[in-house]
Chains A and B, each alone.
Chain A
């Protein structure tokens, strides 16, 4: 009897610990050094895009962004510039819009396609309808950037999280180019010196639970 009580108590503790850990992982998303699971998301061009599609890539600049957030709009041209600068070097931009369209109708696939066409996006603009990718990453706002390095083993590892640079308002007032610096470090075979930088952004419009 005693033994079985001990066993049951033990099991309960294990279950509780597993449960707490599982919920923490979901809430926190990826940290620096974590490996990333690939995703499959539909782009404005109708293609389904995965990181695995990019054989030649050395890594990725994953940007959670949207049509509607003023901060995302302030950074739009800089996101386009990042892709033009780094795609050919092996670090393409993948832009992901996770906003719930019932809360933000202007983030619909149609509106996204219009935006991508209008601004001539050179990178895929993907919709995360289920919001599972944003949750897996732990993205909380737009814009929210993850620089991912593809290692020799093929493992995708998070090496930078956060802001593109230190001047949302004015691209000409930038003193620190966080994402560029991180990608340049990785291209040079080094670890980025700055791995996290915060900036203000719009809360991702989550679906109601």
Chain B
């Protein structure tokens, strides 16, 4: 009886662990060459890349707005954390705390700023949008929810 009880708890723990790890937001390291491969326009989706970091207040504030965008099947939203590699856990705990469903990449290398956009001075938050015909829109600013939706709608209606 006692043994069965223990087994039950064990199964429960195993179940919870699987459950939480399946739903916890992953932050995965990426290098600029790999990211460049993703920053190619796609005729079926508008691609949105949001550059953020766990230490950046305005970035964390706008994460939920980008998470909401991901519900739109026309959009492909990618988060890119610029945290240092050793802070990967901090980045993932921010996603968890804010209830962000999207996973995020983590890019930690030198000299990548111009490769994302030559007009970027390096301030974050920053967002790159690629429309279906390959036009690039770069924003070195924080968005409000309304501004972001407006911006996306403007690009969709072009």
Contact = CB atoms under 8 A, between A and B. Distances in A.
Interface of A: 70, 140-141, 144, 162-163, 166-167, 169, 198-204
Contact of A203 (B84, B110, B113, B125): B125
Interface string B100-126: 000000000011011000001111110
Contacts of B53: 200
Interface residues of B, number: 19
B136 interface: no
Contacts of B55: 70
A162 B2 CA distance: 67
Given A141-B122, A198-B113, A203 B82 contact: no
Interface centre among B114, B121, B125 (most CB of A within 10 A): B121
Interface of A is mostly: loop
B56 interface: yes
B84 A140 contact: no
A141 B56 contact: no
Contact of A204 (B82, B111, B113, B123): B123
Contacts of B121: 140-141, 144, 198
B124 A202 contact: yes
Nearest to B140: A140
